[in-house]
Each structure stands twice: as structure tokens, then as C-alpha cells.
């Protein structure tokens, strides 16, 4: 999408549709490349469709919730919250070229628009607060549209939804080397918890539990 000087565009955060999975898959792989982890990314259209869009569908924000960032040269039409979460108008002082604009055009819309990013979240629970919360799995903005407030726009929308639902927390992970991201999150008021570390079973380490209970208990086990 190319914008003339001081042209206003509209950003809208919408619930993703199953037909938009190919756009999501491409952006997930772009995100993996951006953080230098392409070898860990195996997401396919089929795996995303089966895991994020079950039938019958589960309630948003009480299950895996995928939101797509749409940018348009015209204001969004009124939509129920089952489709649209929020929108925002933005003005830029100089043109912004998006060479992939047409490749990210949703078949569900007929206006001049492009899908520029996504955010995926799902519910979690805090035993200390005795309240539910939301975990943001990933937030991503395509390269031409970065550093323009759109990541903040998406995170703010999810945090607002969590607050409105009476939740206790919104949490996510950040790569330790990504100082720019940590500074950005802190500028929004988030606290980076340096005293905590993420623990994970995946791949073979997870599969071994199918046939048993993993490793035998060790004498120095603390739990």
C-alpha cells in the first residue's frame, strides 16, 4: 500500500477467519526469520487450521484467539465485536510503500486494504491472584509497517479486553537478547521479570512421556 503525503489510513483489529490462515502462516514464518529461529517453525496451513479454528468454534478470549491487523485507505464499516475488536486512524507525513500489499489482501473484503500483522492470545490462570488472565503467544507487524505504533495498538487492545473481562494479568515472553523489545514493553508499563525462566517440554522430550513417565526420579529432585 503506497500512501500519499499526510494520507490517513485506518487500522482495524479483527478476529481472523479460517480462510485467512494462509496469511497467518506466512507471517508466522516471517516472525521466525525475524527472531533468527526459522529452524523451530513448522506451522502449516493444516496445523493452524485444526488448532486455531476448531469446529464448533470456541468463545474468543476463553480459548485460542487470533486477531489480524487490517490497514485500509477507507474507514472500517461498523461491525459487531464478534468480528472487529477496535480501530484507529493514523496519518503519515510521507508515503509508505508495501510491495506485498496485494499478497496480503483478504478474500473477505472488497475494499483497498492489506493485512499487516497479527496477535495470538489464550487464557491462563494465576493461583496467587485466583483470577484468569491472558497470555500473548506472539505479536507481529510486517516490515513496512513496523515502528509506527501498530504493535502497541494490538497489545493495548488485548490488555483492554482483559481488563474489561476482570482478568488479573496479561503476560508474554520476550527473547533475552531483544533489548529493543524489552524497552518497548517497559515503555507501555509492562514489567520484565528477569528472575523467572521459561521451562519447556517439546519434541522428543515431550514424546517420551507417551510410553512412560519420563526420566526416573532422581535423588536430588526438589519437587
- Which residue numbers are catalytic? 185
* d(C-alpha 161, C-alpha 205), whole Å: 35
How many residues are recorded in the chain? 223
Query: Quick check: helix, strand or coil at residue 59?
Result: coil
Which helix or strand (DSSP H or E) is residue 123 part of?
A: strand 113-126
The residues near 96 (Cβ < 8 Å, ≥ 6 apart) are 1, 2, 3, 144, 145, 148
| 174 closest CA partner among 147, 148, 192 | 192
* d(C-alpha 141, C-alpha 97), whole Å: 15
Amino acid at each position: 500500500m503506497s500512501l500519499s503525503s499526510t494520507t490517513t489510513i485506518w487500522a482495524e483489529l479483527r478476529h481472523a477467519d479460517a480462510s485467512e490462515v494462509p496469511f497467518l502462516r506466512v507471517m508466522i514464518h516471517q516472525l521466525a526469520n525475524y527472531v533468527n529461529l526459522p529452524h523451530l517453525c513448522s506451522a502449516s496451513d493444516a496445523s493452524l487450521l485444526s488448532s486455531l479454528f476448531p469446529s464448533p468454534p470456541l468463545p474468543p478470549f476463553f480459548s485460542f484467539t487470533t486477531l489480524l491487523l487490517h490497514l485500509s485507505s477507507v474507514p472500517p464499516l461498523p461491525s459487531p465485536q464478534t468480528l472487529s475488536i477496535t480501530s484507529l486512524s493514523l496519518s503519515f507525513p510521507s508515503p509508505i510503500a508495501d510491495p506485498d500489499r496485494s499478497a496480503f489482501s483478504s478474500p473477505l473484503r472488497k475494499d483497498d486494504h492489506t493485512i499487516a500483522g497479527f496477535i495470538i492470545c489464550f487464557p491462563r490462570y494465576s493461583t496467587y491472584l485466583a483470577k484468569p488472565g491472558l497470555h500473548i503467544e506472539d505479536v507481529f507487524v510486517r516490515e513496512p509497517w513496523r515502528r509506527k505504533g501498530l504493535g502497541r495498538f494490538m497489545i493495548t487492545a488485548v490488555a483492554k479486553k482483559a481488563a474489561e473481562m476482570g482478568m488479573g494479568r496479561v503476560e508474554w515472553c520476550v527473547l533475552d537478547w531483544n533489548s529493543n523489545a524489552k524497552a518497548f514493553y517497559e515503555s507501555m508499563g509492562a514489567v520484565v521479570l528477569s528472575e523467572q525462566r521459561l521451562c519447556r517440554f517439546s519434541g522428543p522430550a515431550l514424546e517420551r512421556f507417551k510410553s512412560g513417565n519420563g526420566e526416573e526420579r532422581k535423588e536430588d529432585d526438589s519437587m
